[in-house]
């Protein structure tokens, strides 16, 4: 089944620590930017899908979609918060796309938002750990950093890859993050600097881990006809949305599981969009930890299993390589504002297809993009394909 969901507008806040703003402020800022970009009035929004993971813990608020609907002025549009661990923002996007595809709605908003820095980092880490099985894993010491460290070890052992080999992924991300005015961490680094950065959970080092970030991103989606009727606007469409669940326990997670988490939904997504992995110009791939980028590259079919790390070293996943992977700097530099991340990936890809990405980040003549988000202990795989389709 084919899909053409128009991207009418996009908006995002800076991705950084923002003590001066509340979660509400961030959501309203991104949502208003997206409506302004779309040229729509709040009264035209029929549904609001808010991705937000941890507001109960971070901000002592729960029903943040209802709060956002009020402050964005989109009442009486239906409003709901969705949560699927770190795949949350991508899930909000999925629900927005399905709503448009159903024919029940003309124009909807997808808003991802998270404010993680109201608390100390150690408290935030505890809140994040609730996105896995707190009782059977977190309370036993298996957190996301330690669980992902196990994955990195498995990868290194299975494929004979060294820590230095993996460090190139951080070098590539930071090269572009330094050029991204919206990014949280804006500095370049070398393999040596990655290797010498403090250990977080062996073999993961600080420059291989995303920071705690406050941000929101939003998209206004519409029926194809509505965007077609405005030919002066960039003709960017979501042409595939595909979701999968996966493993719930990190302890027993295998490399095959990690591969399938993206491979299964990506296979469906390529079929839905009528494209292949070779057709993709630019990709935003989830990398809250650097090791997840090669795993994603492999699951999406851009490299064979065990080969996904090589592009960051040989250049083939840099901006002018075979495929540009994370020209935004990825989560490693943008940070990972949990509920926002999937929406930010989408906004960044839309900018690429519009040709409006910041200087030094724009893939030349990008026509087809993909975003791949994951979440939980290997529990969420979320793929979206975007295409510039002139009428």
Q: What CA–CA distance (Å, rounded) separates 302 from 291?
A: 15
Greatest Cα pair distance, the chain, in angstroms, is: 57
**Would you list the DSSP string of 270-310?**
HHHHT--GGG--EEEE--SBTTHHHHHHHHTTSS-TT-TTH
Q: Give the residue carrying structure tokens 């009035």.
A: 41
Element holding 110 (H helix, E strand): strand 107-114
Instruction: Rule CB under 8 A: choose which of 26, 38, 101, 370 binds its own copies.
Output: 101
The residue from 39, 41, 43, 62 that contacts its own copies (CB under 8 A) is 62
Annotation marks residue 86 as catalytic: yes
For its own copies, the closer of residues 7 and 333 by Cβ is 7
How distant is the alpha carbon of residue 285 from its chain centre? Answer: 7
83 binds its own copies (CB under 8 A): yes
CB contact burial 202-226 (16+ within 10 A = b; e otherwise):
ebbbebbbbbbbbbbbbbbbbbbeb
Among 20, 103, 141, 232, binds its own copies (CB under 8 A): 103
Among 48, 216, 226, 361, binds its own copies (CB under 8 A): 48
How do beta strands 282-285 and 368-375 pair?
A: parallel
Q: Name 220's bridge partners.
A: 9, 109
Q: Is residue 260 near its own copies by the rule CB under 8 A?
A: yes
| Catalytic residue check, 373 | no
Nearest 10 degrees: Cα torsion 311, 355, 375, 194: 40
Task: Output 79 or 324, the one with its CB closest to its own copies.
Answer: 79
Q: Which of these ranges, 30-38, 127-135, 155-163, 205-213, lies near its own copies under the rule CB under 8 A? A: 127-135
* Residue 84 within binding range of its own copies, rule CB under 8 A: yes
Nearer to its own copies, 29 or 208 (CB): 29
Which member of 94, 184, 336, 384 is catalytic? 336
Q: Out of 26, 40, 93, 95, point to the residue binding its own copies (CB under 8 A).
A: 95
Which residues in this chain contact its own copies in the complex, by CB under 8 A? Answer: 1, 3, 47-48, 53-54, 56-57, 60-63, 65-67, 69-71, 74-85, 91, 94-95, 98-99, 101-104, 127, 130-135, 243-249, 260, 264-265, 375-376, 379-381
Query: Which residues are part of the catalytic machinery?
Result: 86, 336
């Amino acid at each position: 089944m084919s899909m053409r969901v128009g991207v009418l507008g996009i908006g995002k806040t800076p991705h950084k620590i923002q003590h001066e703003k509340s979660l509400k402020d961030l959501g309203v800022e991104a949502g208003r930017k997206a409506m302004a970009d779309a040229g729509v009035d709040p009264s035209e929004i029929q549904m609001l899908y808010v991705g937000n993971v941890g507001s109960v813990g971070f901000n002592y608020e729960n029903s943040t979609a209802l709060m956002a609907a009020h402050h964005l002025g989109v009442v009486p549009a239906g409003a709901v918060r969705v949560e699927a661990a770190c795949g949350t923002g991508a899930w909000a996007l999925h629900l927005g796309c399905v709503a448009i595809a159903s024919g029940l709605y003309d124009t909807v908003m997808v808003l991802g938002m998270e404010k993680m820095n109201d608390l100390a980092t150690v408290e935030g880490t505890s809140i994040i750990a609730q996105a896995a099985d707190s009782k059977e894993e977190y309370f036993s010491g298996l957190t996301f950093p330690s669980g992902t460290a196990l994955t990195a070890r498995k990868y290194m052992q299975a494929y004979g890859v060294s820590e230095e080999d993996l460090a190139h992924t951080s070098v590539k991300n930071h090269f572009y993050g330094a050029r991204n005015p919206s990014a949280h961490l804006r500095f370049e680094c070398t393999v040596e600097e990655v290797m010498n950065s403090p250990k977080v959970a062996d073999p993961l080092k600080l420059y291989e881990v995303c920071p705690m970030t406050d941000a929101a991103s939003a998209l206004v989606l519409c029926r194809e006809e509505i965007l077609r009727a405005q030919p002066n606007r960039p003709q960017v469409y979501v042409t595939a949305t595909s979701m999968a669940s996966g493993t719930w326990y990190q302890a027993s997670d295998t490399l095959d599981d990690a591969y399938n988490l993206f491979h299964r939904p990506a296979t469906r997504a390529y079929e839905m969009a009528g494209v292949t992995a070779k057709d993709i110009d630019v990709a935003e791939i989830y990398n809250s930890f650097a090791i997840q980028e090669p795993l994603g590259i492999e699951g999406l079919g851009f490299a064979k299993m065990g080969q996904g790390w090589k592009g960051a070293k040989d250049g083939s996943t840099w901006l002018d390589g075979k495929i540009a992977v994370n020209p935004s700097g990825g989560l490693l530099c943008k940070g990972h504002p949990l509920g926002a991340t999937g929406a930010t990936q989408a906004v960044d890809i839309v900018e690429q297809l519009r040709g409006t990405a910041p200087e030094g980040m724009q893939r030349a003549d990008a026509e087809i993009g993909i975003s791949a988000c994951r979440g939980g202990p290997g529990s969420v795989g979320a793929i979206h394909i975007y295409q510039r389709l002139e009428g």
